[in-house]
Structure 1
Amino acid sequence: MQATVERHQLDRVRGLAKQLCGIHLDGSKDYLIRRRLNELMVDEKIDNLQDLLALAEAPYNRKIRERMVDALTTHETLFFRDKSPFDALTQHIIPKLYREAVGRPRLRIWSAACSTGQEPYSLAIACLESLPERSRWDIRIDASDVSVGTVEAAKRGRFQNFELSRGLSPQQQSRYFRREGNDYRIVDEVRGMVNFQVNNLLTSTPPGHDYDVIMCRNVAIYFTPADRRRIYQKMASALRPQGSLFLGCSEVPTNVSDLFKTVPLGRATSYQRIG
């Protein structure tokens, strides 16, 4: 009987996760669900999963729903994670845009599922370090995540020392961060280059359009094949013709040959919009 009750509760959690942020949590994720929600229940002083679900399903309790989304989504990230897409940007995409620019060169990037900000800040640093005639460029970097908590953390731009050591050289740490207490805050020059917002990849409109680059790495794996297809369609429509989508290094999209063609850029694989 107890096992049946728990299965029913976990099914309700899966339903909420699908409803709130679109992710698909199959039975293999039951341990993850229990562990992460147990931490949330201890923090919120909630006695059991049934009480947590009752609060989350109540229409007035937005805070608990936001915290559940934060708990159930994965936020593993680091600066310049898998450096090859950043090299593709600086060594292939930016030089091509500069050569082909008529008047002021422009660059539009969307970091989808940006977590706590390391990826979009890495993109901003890469631009600062590689753009020829930096002052001439019209640059916009949009960054989004489904979790309200992680977007707020990303906006603050504060990191611990161990986070800086994961991906940044000592020179980059010194140049782009300032110590504040026990943390390090990213400098305003970099912070001002990134526009953060909460965005659900399935249900929200992309934050912009005519992107040259979209980073959507290590997130599509959490969706069903049908939902992945919808996400890729949305991203193709948000890219400019021949704009590039970068996925996680282990992600290989299927059923997208009408949307993208595979184009190697150095060591990175890009998916270039067709049309």
Structure 2
Amino acid sequence: MSEGKLPNHSYFWRHPAQMEALTGHLSRLPVKETLRVWCAGCSRGEEAYSLSYLLHRLGRPHHIRATDKDEESLAQAVLAIYREETFRLLPRAYEIEAVGDSRYTVAPEVRRSVDFERSDLLKTRPPQAAYHVVVCRNVLIYFDKGTQLEVLNKLVDALLPNGLLVLGYAESSLIQHSGL
């Protein structure tokens, strides 16, 4: 699948073991500057906000650029109101605010650290060597092999030297087969 709307099934703190590993890695990085993160294929924003929660907990100054090609998903991400079940895996230490009947929003300081914008991974070229961390989980699996490698190269090019690329479990094998 390389055209059209991709599925946007997501929730906060998806894949807890991977989030905990990311927490360990990020907590060991020296605090020298604002951590720049790109969350590619951000859907409705759950992952971008999860990353912001994590970085706030670590006391890391950060800015997250969250991109997706679907305007409807981005509008929901900016609104930041979610059903209660999307928070089911978010650790209890993180604050969410009730905004209505079984609906909640993320903490204001978490929202302020994330900027959403429309961008199509297949059509735009991200800035090179711009990000400490690039997260693109469960997006590449919807593309054919050639497109996967093309997008993977864009993601790697967007990393600063010694930057961290975070893919979904099903996509991790792409690194081995890509020659990167």
Alpha-carbon distance in structure 1 between the residues aligned to 2:79 and 2:127: 20
Superposed, 1:1-275 pairs within 5 Å as: 23-24=1-2, 69=4, 72-98=5-31, 101=32, 105-131=33-59, 134=60, 137=61, 139-165=62-88, 167-172=89-94, 175=95, 177-182=96-101, 183-206=103-126, 209-251=129-171, 252-253=173-174, 254-257=176-179, 259=180
Q: Which amino acid aligns with 1:169?
A: P
Query: Is the 1:142–1:207 contact (alpha carbons within 8 Å) kept by the matching residues of 2?
Result: no
Distance 2:127 2:104 in 1: 28
Q: Distance in 2 between matches of 1:155 and 1:204?
A: 21
| Cα displacement (A) at 1:130 | 1.4
Following superposition, the deviation at residue 233 of structure 1 comes to 1.3
Whether the 8 Å contact between 1:107 and 1:140 is mirrored in structure 2 is yes
CA deviations over 1:35-85 (Å, ceiling 9, x no partner): xxxxxxxxxxxxxxxxxxxxxxxxxxxxxxxxxx4xx41111111111233
Tell me the number of residue pairs that the alignment of Structure 1 and Structure 2 aligns. Answer: 177
User: d(CA) in 2 for partners of 1:168 and 1:238?
Assistant: 28
CA gap 1:213/1:85 in 2 versus in 1, 3 angstroms = farther
- Compare the two structures and name the one with the higher helix fraction: 1
Q: Give, in whole Å, the separation in 2 of the partners of 1:240 and 1:200.
A: 21
Greater RCO, 1 or 2 (C-alpha within 8 Å, sep 6+): 2
- One-letter amino acid matched to 1:24: S
TM-score after normalising by structure 2: 0.89
Paired with 2:23 and 2:93, the residues of 1 have a C-alpha distance of 18
State the alpha-carbon separation in 1 of the partners of residues 116 and 127 from structure 2: 9
Whether the 8 Å contact between 1:109 and 1:212 is mirrored in structure 2 is yes
Distance in 2, Cα, partners of 1:214 & 1:200: 15
Q: CA 1:184–1:208 in 2, change beyond 3 Å: closer, same or farther?
A: farther
Alpha-carbon RMSD across the aligned residues, in angstroms, is 1.9
Unmatched segments (≥5 aa) in structure 2: none
Name the TM-score, length of structure 1 as normaliser. 0.60
Give the Å deviation of 1:127. 0.6
